Structure 1
């Protein structure tokens, strides 16, 4: 929609107003402009996330678009890349706001980058390149980068590049509503920057401001240098005196040092000679002690090794006993199994004998049956022959005897059937009887097995009770072991906490010891430094140092030292006494005037400066007569000489110096006392303020004269602190030793408890293994008992089955025997009926009676014989079957007995093997017991030998301790000498040897040392550091003096430069301002069609700082200031002013951001045409939405926002469009 709006504007422009098209050849080429903007590249800046390139010709370019499309962001981008730092000018809250912040569809970018490409063909910029690219990049992290032609530069370089070109952040090349507001501002001073840039003096103003800043810094430096010089001037002369005195001190000190070092080294050599023999004796004693320790360790080690071997033997014996116990259980199980197997064999043998007996009986019966069968077979053959003959005879008489025969035959068949049935029943009864016998044998076998199983169950019950007892004991042992282990763990926890606490306590003690040691080292260093300063008379004048140095070397005599070294001042009075003494602290006290004369002559010879001499022989005490009345004054502290401590022989000195000085608490009390006593004497307050005789006052920050008295007090205080700190350090060392000893004890207790824990862990493992073994045995016993109970149940079930089968067999036998008896009775009845029939047949049939009777008898006999034979054959077959079954049962019993016998043999072999192993292990246990007894004897012997060696070791230890103490005493003496060497002269032994001097004898050297110490003491307080301090201060003083001269010269040069710049700025600004004023009047008339306009300086005498007033008179109106005009008139006046400046100081290009927005249409046309006229010298880039301005443009850039928050560019070259329209 935005792009449609943009093109609609173009269409309206070309078709509705063709007459307003500008005149010209349409080339748009600018041949006058020597420098112009060629291109602008934007990426990630505000609403331009994508890289956008705008190319510009040497003519007018208009950038149009609806409100909010981002067209003003282009002018912001140009202003930003030229160095603008104000986020308010850039229409943002913070600099990060210039980076594209993202939309609903796009992510934010990480940086913003803008590049400005300028044509430099005419080399307006002092660069060789014909094209200049200025780039600025800013990251969200806050980092900024600047580039000129892709070379990294500073912001300052960018500002200097555009300075005095009208470009840059302070120039007038970018004109927006903000610039219009500056011109229209009520404050006339707000307009100055633009005029200065137009006049070309911005560079001069920057140079002037920089020179003024340098001048300000120079004044500050000069002030500091003068302060330092004034301070050093107070130190140079006193340091010169102190340096000379220190040199004398160094001569004496060096001689003293050489003698003391030589005497100490001589003593050290004697000590070391004695130490050599001590060391030899000590090493021999240590060697013997170590040998004794090794012997003791070997003895006790041997005893411990023997104890370990005994424990190993005991463990092995316990293992063997445990194995024997386990084997006994196995033996009992094997013996029980063998007893059961033997019982089974006996039972099987009994069954076999019984069955064999039955078999023999059956074989006898079978032989009898065979004879009967043979006999009956013969009879049957005989009967068959008789029957054959009888039948042949009967056939002859068959007709007569047919009926009788049929009846006899019928009876015979019935009888035969009955006899067959009787035989079957009899055979079944025999089979039932055989089964009954087998069942009786099986019942006996079941009874025997039942008894064996019950015995095994009883044994298993007893074994299970034993196993339960063993398991309970093992579990009790396990619980006890676990309880002991847990108790040891708790103890370990307590010991661990105790160890941690003691470690922490030891660490705290160690840290306190370290802190105290560091404090001691710092304090010692401070004491050493202050002591050295005292020795070197640090803080004293050169003259004092020179004199004290000569005193130390012994060339000057009868000199007691400076005043400051001869008194002691309490801390609360230090400031007051230092103030009261002032320079008198460095006065030298001597015995007589002649001694003072010698000092003065020495200083004159050495050019060592001046010193004040106080001869004890001539110095007169001073007295404050008002002291008694002063004591009643409020705030009175005392007379100064009464507040210090000194040797009585110096009373006159300090009475002279301090006897007429009153010390008051504060300045108010001092002033009151001074007024009361008419300012007749000197008054000093505790904080160092002074009221001098006559009424003058001295005060402010109290000077402590290099802190000489404070240093002595501090040294005394530090020595006291050092003593207290050493006591604290010794206490800390004892506390550290105690805490470390406690920590070691806690660690030992923890290790012992951990060893106990390991033992109880082992005990728990063993107990757990025993419990597991007992549980395994119990489970095995339980399984065996369940198997035995299961078998017992099966046996009981089998007994019931056998009893039921036996009862059934008995019932069957009775039933079969009854049926056989009934059949036999019936058969007998039939036989009797047959006999009756035969008798009746014989009676009825006489003719055939004999034959028929004989035949019937024969047939009956044959039938009976055949039936009997069949019965016998059947019985023989039954007997044969019973024999086979009995033989098979006998074979089965024999096979079982053979298996049982083999199993018994195997188990008896196992029993023998177990008995052999048990016997061997019992023998081994006996051997182990004997070995233990032997080892016990050896252990006792080794222990006794170790105790004897230990007594010898104790005696040797006493000798070693005695020698060690002597050696330590000698080493301590040696160390004290070495420490004395180090503490006194900071020399090691080797370094001291190099400084050793020849001495005749130690006594003579000692006497000379005493003389030297006396001479050094006579020098008093000496500041050895004053030698170097004077050299340093003097060099510093000379250096600062030379530096002051250089700074003053530089100041004069800067003032001359500032004057030259100011004069040049006045000249240039005055000239350019006049030109701009004239141009403004002309431009105003051209734009307004008449009238007049002027620029006036508010203070012509201060043209570089005063405000600039704008006065205009539009056609037909009175003369007014700009603030009285209407809004449109103000904007037009501002535009006229800008055009007038551009006429005088044209810029390479101008960016105008809707500056004509407040104009009416006619004035917009005037503005656009005037801009067209000036485009010959200046390149214009106009951001606008006014039609009149667009009519004068050569190129139109349209800014659209088809995607919310993202700006895009559309381009139309109006010259090309115009040509195309003309062609149409």
Structure 2
């Protein structure tokens, strides 16, 4: 095995990828100071797993990455690969060429590879352990390591010697095993603490589980009760809503009919108002046209009279002028002749003209006075017409009010009659509701009594169930204790079987020999196996027999020879065998024991065929209470060996043994008796467990029966409660209906009272309106008569005025 190649990328001063090939033999690297010779050695140590930064001549691990120069940037990672030729199979791998690689990034992430396969640092350390190669091995020696070797520090030299001797691997394994043992011991201590804590948590959780189960049961029961209550309330609300909905429908129907009637009445009223307004407008137009026509007639009459007057006057003037022309033409000559006569006559005519002019002015003044009087009369007549129209409108409104009041009065009278009939009809319904209410109250009281009785039964049954649960819990706890005891006994049984089958406590040679029991049929067992005694005697027998307990009893000498040969061939040590056929040839007399002594053999039980062996081994052993008694009896009976109950032994007068003896959990003697006792205890515990399980089953059956009865009672209570609530709801509904009837009756009485008050007010209003209508009708009649009279006088005066106008015209 040798180093064949070293490849560096970005390691310290090797920025470029650098390969160094090494052939067999000696290779030397030379160069000036600072050229990187030591960096190659550092690279070898680093790739082999060196973790100490000081050994790499750096302050921190990332300094081994190329840090850059003025002309070259620093690198982000470094990698070193070392190729080793495993031609002698020194490395524990199947490859002949092994490439060890290590990478390091500036982030601190590191990787190890063997033949480009990621591995752990421990894998690299294991593969080079005891090969002479490694980060701290003697194959890589620096100057300071030479100084360490030559120094007087034995510890530093020992490290190299251990590496060279190949014991480092075992030391590392030993340290690792010790660390694991210590960690296991701490884990065991911690496990015990955890077990105690877990036991507390388990007990707490068991209580919490019980509480959680009860909470879930109560929650489910509460949910069911809430659902039942919600269902009951829902149905009760539905029952409450139904009569209200019927009333609402009826009232809505009445409202719609009333609204429809009101709409019709309002429409008729609007039509009446529109007709009245139209009539008033038409009346105003007619009055205006009448006034206009009157004025026009008067104007036309006046114009006609003037025109007629002018026409007559013009005709008269024409005729007169024609006559005068003719006369003047005839008399023109006469006038000239009669000029004197005419001048006298002219004077006379002038006087007559002055008189006529005075008469005309008088008649014109009278006419003007009459005209002013007529105009005043006409204005007064127009005012009377306006007053008449206004009074007529007021009278029409008063008559409409009177008619509406009379209609309202009739409607109130009909309403009062209907309400009185409704009161009479509701009396029978009210009595029926009271009878039904009395029946429902009795039924509710009966349901309440039954519910109370059932609730008392439930309380008693719940108390009984709680007692049964406590009995079950106590029985279950007893069962758990028995199961734990059974598990403990089974554990002891298994442990004891394992001890017996492996012959724990015997010598290794005895254990090996007893393993051949299946191969050799003549092996009976060890001396310890054939003996059974009480615990106190067992301890004394172990002290007396000591190594003799490892003696193996076989049937005959050939079996003994064959077994010894097997042990010898396997190099398992030495064993002592006791052939039974030789014991039969021995004459071992029954010992004679004086009075007052307690032979140990009397405390031992064994088969008859092993009695000679026991007499041979323990026939001379006597039990005493203390060492003083043993000393006294040894002087008296030197042929016996003595052992005290504390374990002190006395053999003759020469040898006394004593001291403390470590108490064993399982003695070598009586293991099978202990096994039988444990098996019997297991059978007893199993019988007890069966009885407890049977009792627990009976308790559970009783509990199930009680819970079933409780469920049935609760169901009956639920049904009874629903019936009670239903009865109560019906009772409340009946009370509500009775209250509604009473309230309705009171409201109806109030309505009748209100209607009577309204009727009284309406009658007074009607009486008042009738009086006002009669008064206004009388005033309107008077005003109409006055208007007619004044109009007649106006027409008469107008005729007189016309005559006067004619006279004036004539006078002109």
TM-score (norm 2): 0.46
TM-score (norm 1): 0.33
Q: Which has the higher contact order (CA 8 A, sep 6+)?
A: 1
